[in-house]
Amino acid sequence: MTPAMPASEGLELDALSDRLLAPVFRPARGLGWLLLATGAGSLTLFVAVAYTVLVGIGAWGNDIPVAWAFAIVNFVWWIGIGHAGTFISAILLLLEQPWRTSLNRIAEGMTLFALVQAGLMPLLHLGRPWFFYWLVPYPATMRLWPQFMSSLTWDVAAVSTYTIVSILFWYLGLVPDLAVARDRARTLVARRAYGVFALGWRGSATQHRHHRVAQMLLAGLATPLVLSVHSIVSMDFAIAKLPGWHSTIFPPYFVAGAIFSGFAMVLTLVLPLRRAYRLHAFIGPRHLDAMAKMLLCVGLIVAYSYAAEAFVALRTPDPYEHEMAAVTRPRGPYAPLYWLMLACNVLVPQILWSARARRSPLVLWVVALFVQIGMWTERFVVVVTSQHRDFLPSSWETYRPSLVDGAILFGTLCFFSFLFLLMVRFVPFLPIAEQKELVHDAHVPL
Amino acid sequence: MNDTDPHLGLVPSTSLTRRRFLLGSSLVALGAEACSKPPRDDLIPYVQRPRDVIPGAATFYATTATRDAYGFGLLVESHEGRPTKIEGHPEHPASLGATGPREQAAIYSLYDPERAKAVRRRGAASSWSAFEFAMRAKESAPWSARGGEGLAVLLEPSTSLVAEARLDALRERFPEARVHFHAERSAIDRLEGARLAFGEPFDAVYSLDGADVVLSLDADLSGGGAMAVPMARAFFAKRRVESPRDGLPRLYAVETALGLTGAAADHRLAVPPGELPRVARSIANAILAALGDRTSPLAAALAAEASRESEPAFVRAAARDLVQARGRAVVLVGDRQPPDVHALGHALNALLGAFDHVVRVTRSPILEAGAPSHDVRPLLAALDAGAIDTLCVLGSNPGYSLPGDARVRERFGRAREVIHLGEHADETSALASWQLPAAHFLEAWGDARAMDGTSSVVQPLVVPLWGGRTVAEVLAALHGAAVRDSRRLLRDVFERRNVDFEDAVARGVVPHTDTLRPRAPSVDLAAVAAGLVARPSSPPTVTLAVAPHPVLHDGDLANNAWLQEMPEPVTKLVWGHALLVGPSTAASLGVRDGDAVEVASGERAVRLAAFVQPGHAEGAVTAWLGHGRRAPSLAASAGGADLAALRRLDAPWIVEPVTVRKIAGKERVIVTQTSADQHGRVAALRSTLDAWRADPAAFRQANEDPASILPERLSGSPQWGMAIDLAACTGCSACVVACQAENNVPVVGPADSALFRTMHWLRIDRYYGGTPAEPEVDLQPMLCQHCEKAPCEYVCPVNATVHSPDGLNEMVYNRCVGTRYCSNNCPYKVRRFNFYSHDDDLPESLRMAMNPGVTVRARGVMEKCTYCVQRIRRTEIDARVARRALRDGEIRTACEQVCPTEAIVFGDVSDPRSRVSELHRSPRAYAALGDVGTRPRTRYLARITNPGPEPSR
Amino acid sequence: MTRTYLCEFGSVADCERGIVAFRDLGARNLEAYLPFRSPRIEAALAGKRSPLPLWTLLSGIVGALAAYGILYFTQNVDYPLDVGGRPTHAVAAYVPITFETTMLFASVAAFAGALVLCGLPRLHHPIFTVPGFERASVDRFFVTFEHDGTEHGEPIVAVATECGALRAVPVNLEEGAS
């Protein structure tokens, strides 16, 4: 097949190494300022968190009936974003999609940093966060165990497993390239630092062989994980009786949504990166096109999920589900958000049917932003709208986020960007070994 | 300590600490700290435990509260000398074992951190002895030399024999002294009407168990009236039909704003307050016509006026039913009606043969009932004339509650000395030169008489926390009485009446002291006719109806956080009042809830928040008293407007004409329920008698559990359950406050109430059916249903809410991490979350109100109704100790025990003979939201109404 | 006597040819160092089948059993409670955690196993002392092997140069050699 980069140039391998290591050894101008800005922004997160832990959940807008709100919306949103990484690097690896190589490390990094934000939320969301460990089984003095029928305990297992596996997968792929960085480092400090993280990789054929096997295994394991994690997150809602939550369609619906927002986030990050580091050679129109098609395709699945959910709810004899779908969402107090969600997630992506749109970075970037907003709104609609009007009309009340809620959302965005920029600065985010392999395969047909 | 509650804006609490209080000797310490002299009675410190006090075990003492001066018997639960919970006195005719919200909340008033805590002289700290000295000294009390000339005493109306004795002594010592009672106009008009009808200011007592048709002219069947409990219990007992074959009494109600009586009525007519007397007359006219009386002076007087307008269907129907049910029909007239309407009511009752078995009368136990001393206007005139040297205001707060044209501020200024005895630093004490702390009735010796004359004892549960004194004691100080000790005086008074004092104190109620007249008194119809005041048909302007706040009364309870946060039963307003406006009036004004409106009469105007109230009479608006407080306090934090500016002494309840206009801006309106439509869900079911007779099985399906694949896990006995009869529930909300007092439910304050974070374990849902103009009101107490298949339990990740073998849905506070998933999954939304720590910043004195049997919940944990598990376990233990089986009805939840109409029944559903099992089998029984498959242990009994053929409603 | 040789190549093809040639010369413990994975060279070296998949499988099974065991023990044996009237042995509810734990154990085994098989972490290795070896991660292909040949290893050098090797030198890969 055709290589990931224009083959004709026939870049020499060492030049290629330099080229791929450039972002690390010759960071773009202004990156420092960006780090500073996002770092400062992250402070709002830490302040808001400290305040919440200090005074209690009352600092937020939550009430009864809307006992879950921003924190859970953010949690689901960030977890969802976390999915594209593993999806790209694992599933596309198994499917032997060579175009993934230039993207997978960025995507995996993004996954990790999204998981950091996500992991923070359910913890902070507890009324007594300092007892979070009561959700894991350990021989407690109270002799009590967690209650494993609750999807929240499943969450703990799913999210922690997913985080660990993502880290392992990311790091495993990184080791050979860290070795390259080690061997190309100009300063002793850099050499030592990269040397340590490279674990002394020698690039022997044996190492390469086991390395590849392990990678394939992890990819194979990560694939069902990707699908399971958001399925389980969706069960945080699906196992409840609440109209708007109590739905069997949730797992596939949530997974699609997750990959949808994940790809959108990848685009949001990759396009500026590509421009800043002139990576057009590695992330070509072909990649954009493939990403756009993924986005469109997953978007259609999401659209189908909306349709299916509404259809089932409207056909069911259950009066509560029916009112939720027929009245509360389209016409209730939060109706504008519902329609915004449909506009962003169903309408906007349709532009990607046009090939020209798919190849235009600007259009892609804007569409990606819309999808991000749309997906966040979707989680708000699912979480808040369903709670605020459930069974007993006497308890129907609305919810308004507080300043702290806003600060936390803004803070996570900053913190996420901060971590991502750190990676861009210090980690070879374009896989070197794999690129070389591709180039080589391209030149020397077997 | 000086911690202030951020939510309540409470003033710093005092140096009093719970520890020092609980060490028994603290009682002594308190006495010493409060009044600078040793306590009056010997108190034994718990370090040597008194014989009859077992630490940890509650003891009950009988005492008496008052409602509009009439006695209301209580039993008060006390833990190591700490009164913590109030129950009704089963032997007292006004209580029958039940109470209302205000009695429940008296515990808060006792420990209210804002109570007046010391004698103050012109703002500076002083002492009782200094006060007593001043009252004896020539120069400071010149009137003492002139036989009391220049001394004026203003008291609240009272039925107390001790107070009477003190007053007699005062008059003896100072014949020239003026004594006035600051009575609400309503009390005067009621007795005035009685005088018109009977020739004497009688009190009328109604026993509605004899009534099949009741016409309420702005009367209050279920509120805080002196005899509301027996009336409500008797009437609503007849409304809880057991089978479609039974009959049902019919209730007609005429009122201005939608009240609980109107909500319970089968037919309701909403009219402006000025129109109500006219309606009363046309009904009376129709009745007389039906009775064939066209000649009597009364008939003539009525006919003359009635002929001027066409009678609405309501009038015809009411008159027809009343006459048909002759002998079993009664007319009730609301306190705020003018004398002639009261008189007309008595006349109609006489004509309908209601006397003797439905209505009985007695000479009012109110001191100097009907005497001119109950009118404050002469006192005000005397102040104007400068004839008053020393004005002694004992108990009431005229500085706030008197209408604007009383010009209290200016007139009180004319007196050299103004002495005020009150529980709080309020608008009156601000005008006073002597500010004296009043004793709470739980700190006082005294007595009170019920409307039927029954006498009962006021017994202290605790030495005055802040050295307060009673009215009688201050009177004693005024005339330098020989007997200072109220207890001794009470003993003397009782023994003079041959009452065994010790026995009376032990029982609380003095038996055989009721003075009801068994025979029908003669009603002078001619006098009633002559008394009728002709009213010009009011021009088409807007009338402002002024009413006491349904919960906070005229503001004397406004400093009580429990009552401020208790949702007003109909509007569900908390922490404030509003201008209640009918739907079409609101539309014409273009106002919505929370819009600022200005109500102007002449040049005087007040700014209020508009609140659209379905069923409110058009052409009139209603505003409640008790708000717009000036003194910095919790009461003031409720905001609102003081209506005094608009009110006049001679017509305090009606202001007309007024102009109402929308003005820029918003005003705070906090409601705890915003959706009023049931959306056809199985919440509060109702039916009419006819419809139910047509389909007796109407509710059966809603009482059957849907099929479930889950195993049957609850077996054995007992299995706890509850039944709530919506036909009997009046919505009075006594249960709400009782639950709060019993279970240490925190108050969250206005800010968090507005965010729907109130903590009540038991709330009363209010739904509207019908049309905005003529709503059908459904009231439903909603608390944890203790579902057998509880959705809240299986979603808790830490086993913090699980099921007990006897069927309780248990909440384990110290295991809860606060995921709040249980609340999301509760279809009834009865779970409450501690968004903040409500305990940390609680003033020390309020901690003493805590029930030691119930955990105080920490921040970040979920809580909810436990079926009063502490009461269940306590009784089980007692039974086990006594080696006997539990008796049905032995365990009573706080809400059950307090309910005036016995609408709530708790018991063992595994015992087919228990009352609760019987009720669960009733053809009216159903499970709220049973279709969700939760298998609730609490079952409701649908409400059956009995509207006549016409008018529709 | 046995000596260790190191040859440097400029391309995969040369490297591959070299490996084959050296084996024909009787070279032992052939190992190649290259900047990226090359199936052809791995084929030429004819390494054994990796045991990693088996380890992963076993570890996964252990994880599954452990998870379900804990779930069953805590909810049914040690402290059974009536929770919402549901059965304590709620198989369906146990599936997610069991699955996740399986994946976790398997993944950790795959990762750890890979490190073990690759002999990592090992920050220093004698071969790093070979001058110019740092290009092994960039653009050069090295082959090391043992051969008991003549004093100066002429045959090796000859074969190497013939295979296009850039150099072929005897090296000392003993621990602590420099």
Q: Which amino acid is at B1?
A: M
How many B-C residue pairs are in contact by the CB < 8 A criterion? 36
Q: What is the mean pLDDT of residues B134-163?
A: 90
Per residue in B683-714, pLDDT tens?
Answer: 999 999 999 999 999 999 999 988 888 888 88
- Listing DSSP states for A95-111 in one string gives TT-GGGHHHHHHHHHHH
Q: What is the mean pLDDT of residues B377-393?
A: 93
Model pLDDT, residue A25 = 78
For residue B33, the number of C-alpha atoms closer than 13 Å in the C-beta half-sphere is 16
Paired tokens of B187? 């009390």
Q: Residue A444 above 60 pLDDT?
A: no
Give the whole-angstrom CA distance, residue B42 versus residue B31. 11
Helix (H, G, I), strand (E, B) or coil at B66: strand
Neighbours of A77 (CB within 10 A): 27
C28 DSSP β-pair partners: C146
Nearest to B722 by CA among B543, B868, B511: B868
Paired tokens of B825? 């999954």
Q: What is the mean pLDDT of residues B335-363?
A: 92
- Listing DSSP states for B798-850 in one string gives TS-EEE-TTS-EEE-GGG-----HHHHT-TT---EE-SS-TTTT--HHHHTTS
B178 DSSP β-pair partners: B152
Q: Which residue matches tokens 């703002």?
A: B123
Phi/psi at B374 (5° precision): -85, -5
Q: Residue A302 above 90 pLDDT?
A: yes
Q: Give, as one character, the DSSP assignment of residue B115.
A: B
Phi/psi at A410 (5° precision): -60, -45
Query: Omega into B718 within 30° of 0, i.e. cis?
Result: yes
Check CB contact of B794 with chain A, cutoff 8 Å: yes
Whole-Å CA distances, C118 to A206, A207, B578? 7, 5, 79
Cα distance from A165 to chain B (closest Cα, Å)? 24
3-state secondary structure B587-656: HHHCCCCCEEEEEEECCEEEEEEEEECCCCCCCEEEEECCCCCCCCCHHHHCCCCCHHHCCECCECCEEE
Q: What is the mean pLDDT of residues A160-189?
A: 89
Q: Residue C176 above 70 pLDDT?
A: no
Q: Residue B28 above 80 pLDDT?
A: no
A-facing residues of C in 9-68 (CB < 8 A) are 12-13, 31-38, 40-42, 45, 47, 50, 52-53, 56
Q: What is the mean pLDDT of chain C?
A: 84
Nearest to B130 by CA among B435, B396, B465: B435
Whole-Å CA distances, A125 to B190, C59, C147? 58, 34, 66
Check CB contact of A46 with chain B, cutoff 8 Å: no
List of chain A residues whose C-beta atoms are within 8 Å of the C-beta of residue B840: none
User: What does the angle CA B317 – CA B321 – CA B327 come to, to the nearest 5 degrees?
Assistant: 155
Model pLDDT, residue B1 = 36
Per residue in B839-860, pLDDT tens?
Answer: 888 898 999 999 999 999 999 9
Whole-Å CA distances, B839 to B654, B856, B862? 43, 7, 14
Per residue in B386-429, pLDDT tens?
Answer: 999 999 999 989 999 999 999 999 999 999 999 999 999 999 99
Element (DSSP H or E) covering residue A85 = helix A70-86
Say which range, B73-77, B885-889, C40-44, C172-176, has the weakest mean pLDDT. C172-176
Question: Partners for B (CB, 8 Å, 3+ pairs)?
Answer: A, C
Give the whole-angstrom CA distance, residue B672 versus residue B494. 48
Give the whole-angstrom CA distance, residue C156 versus residue B771. 105
Say which range, A87-96, A188-197, C62-71, has the weakest mean pLDDT. A87-96
**Residues ≥6 apart with Cβ < 8 Å to B952:** none
List of chain C residues whose C-beta atoms are within 8 Å of the C-beta of residue B711: 85, 87
Model pLDDT, residue B650 = 87
**Residues ≥6 apart with Cβ < 8 Å to B587:** none
**Residues ≥6 apart with Cβ < 8 Å to A397:** A63, A64, A65, A66, A388, B674, B756
Model pLDDT, residue B308 = 52
Model pLDDT, residue A214 = 92
Q: Find, in chain C, the residue whose alpha carbon is nearest to that of B712.
A: C85
A-facing residues of C in 87-106 (CB < 8 A) are 90, 93-94, 96-97, 99-101, 103-104, 106
Q: Residue B607 above 90 pLDDT?
A: yes
Q: Give, as one character, the DSSP assignment of residue C153.
A: -
Inter-chain residue contact C84 with B799, CB threshold 8 Å: no
Check CB contact of A224 with chain C, cutoff 8 Å: yes
Q: For testing the chain B interface, which of A135, A322, A392 should be mutated: the one with the most B CBs within 10 Å?
A: A392
Q: Residue B518 above 70 pLDDT?
A: no
Q: What is the mean pLDDT of residues B630-656?
A: 90
B115 DSSP β-pair partners: B424
Give the whole-angstrom CA distance, residue A169 versus residue B226. 78
Paired tokens of B495? 């023994």
Q: Find, in chain C, the residue whose alpha carbon is nearest to that of A436.
A: C36
- Listing DSSP states for B751-813 in one string gives HHHHTT----SSEEEEEEEE-SSSEEEEEEEE-----TT-HHHHT-TTS-EEE-TTS-EEE-G
Give the whole-angstrom CA distance, residue B473 versus residue B135. 13
Give the whole-angstrom CA distance, residue A82 versus residue B365. 79
Give the whole-angstrom CA distance, residue A172 versus residue A163. 14
* C-beta separation of B33 from B55 below 8 A: no
Question: For residue B952, what pLDDT band results from cuts at 50, 70 and 90?
Answer: very low
Give the end-to-end CA distance of chain C in Å, rounded to a whole number. Answer: 20
User: What does the angle CA B536 – CA B539 – CA B544 come to, to the nearest 5 degrees?
Assistant: 100
- Listing DSSP states for A222-260 in one string gives HHHHHHHHHHHHHHHHHTS--TTT--TTHHHHHHHHHHH
Give the whole-angstrom CA distance, residue B148 versus residue B314. 56
Element (DSSP H or E) covering residue A297 = helix A285-315
User: What does the angle CA A309 – CA A314 – CA A317 come to, to the nearest 5 degrees?
Assistant: 115
Inter-chain residue contact B932 with A149, CB threshold 8 Å: no
Neighbours of B873 (CB within 10 A): 12
Residue A137 has its nearest CB partner, among C74, C100, C124, at C74
| Rg (chain A; Cα; Å) | 23
Model pLDDT, residue C45 = 82
Q: What is the mean pLDDT of residues B324-335?
A: 94
Supply the pTM of this predicted model: 0.90
More confident of the two residues B390 and A204? B390
More confident of the two residues C116 and A16? C116
Mean pLDDT highest for which of B47-61, B482-496, B736-750?
B736-750
Give the whole-angstrom CA distance, residue B350 versus residue B356. 10
Question: For residue B215, what pLDDT band results from cuts at 50, 70 and 90?
Answer: very high
Say which range, B409-423, C21-35, C69-83, has the weakest mean pLDDT. C21-35
Nearest to A177 by CA among A23, A2, A10, A12: A23
Say which range, A268-277, A389-398, B585-594, has the weakest mean pLDDT. A268-277
Residue B756 has its nearest CB partner, among A63, A127, A389, at A63
Check CB contact of B836 with chain A, cutoff 8 Å: yes
Give the whole-angstrom CA distance, residue B112 versus residue B560. 7
Give the whole-angstrom CA distance, residue B940 versus residue B160. 42
Give the whole-angstrom CA distance, residue C29 versus residue C35. 20
Per residue in A126-147, pLDDT tens?
Answer: 999 999 999 999 998 888 999 9
* C-beta separation of B267 from B319 below 8 A: no
Q: Residue C153 above 70 pLDDT?
A: no
Q: Residue B149 above 80 pLDDT?
A: yes
| Pairing relationship of beta strands B151-155 and B178-181 according to DSSP bridges | parallel
Inter-chain residue contact C82 with B792, CB threshold 8 Å: no
Q: What is the mean pLDDT of residues A267-278?
A: 87
Helix (H, G, I), strand (E, B) or coil at B427: coil
**Percent of chain C topping pLDDT 90:** 37
Model pLDDT, residue A443 = 62
Element (DSSP H or E) covering residue B504 = helix B501-507
Paired tokens of A326? 């027929």
Cα distance from A220 to chain C (closest Cα, Å)? 9
Q: Residue B39 above 90 pLDDT?
A: no
Per residue in B432-441, pLDDT tens?
Answer: 999 999 999 9
Give the whole-angstrom CA distance, residue A333 versus residue A385. 8
Q: What is the mean pLDDT of chain B?
A: 89
Q: Residue C64 above 70 pLDDT?
A: yes
Model pLDDT, residue B53 = 64
List of chain C residues whose C-beta atoms are within 8 Å of the C-beta of residue A432: 35
List of chain B residues whose C-beta atoms are within 8 Å of the C-beta of residue C84: 789-794, 803
Paired tokens of B142? 């010149």
Q: Residue A432 above 60 pLDDT?
A: yes
Chain B positions contacting chain C at CB under 8 Å are: 710-711, 713-714, 788-794, 796, 799, 802-805, 935
Inter-chain residue contact C84 with B794, CB threshold 8 Å: yes
Q: What is the mean pLDDT of chain A?
A: 88
Q: Residue B816 above 70 pLDDT?
A: yes
Give the whole-angstrom CA distance, residue C147 versus residue C4. 6
- Helix ranges (DSSP H) in A88-204: 92-94, 101-125, 151-184, 188-198
Say which range, B7-11, B520-524, B828-832, has the weakest mean pLDDT. B7-11
Say which range, A62-71, B112-121, B397-406, B507-516, has the weakest mean pLDDT. B507-516
List of chain A residues whose C-beta atoms are within 8 Å of the C-beta of residue B680: 319
Model pLDDT, residue B368 = 92
Cα distance from B140 to chain A (closest Cα, Å)? 54
Q: Find, in chain C, the residue whose alpha carbon is nearest to that of B788.
A: C85
Question: For residue B602, what pLDDT band results from cuts at 50, 70 and 90?
Answer: confident
- Listing DSSP states for B682-732 in one string gives SSS-EEEHHHHHH-TTTTHHHHSPPP-SS-----SS--EEEEEETTT----
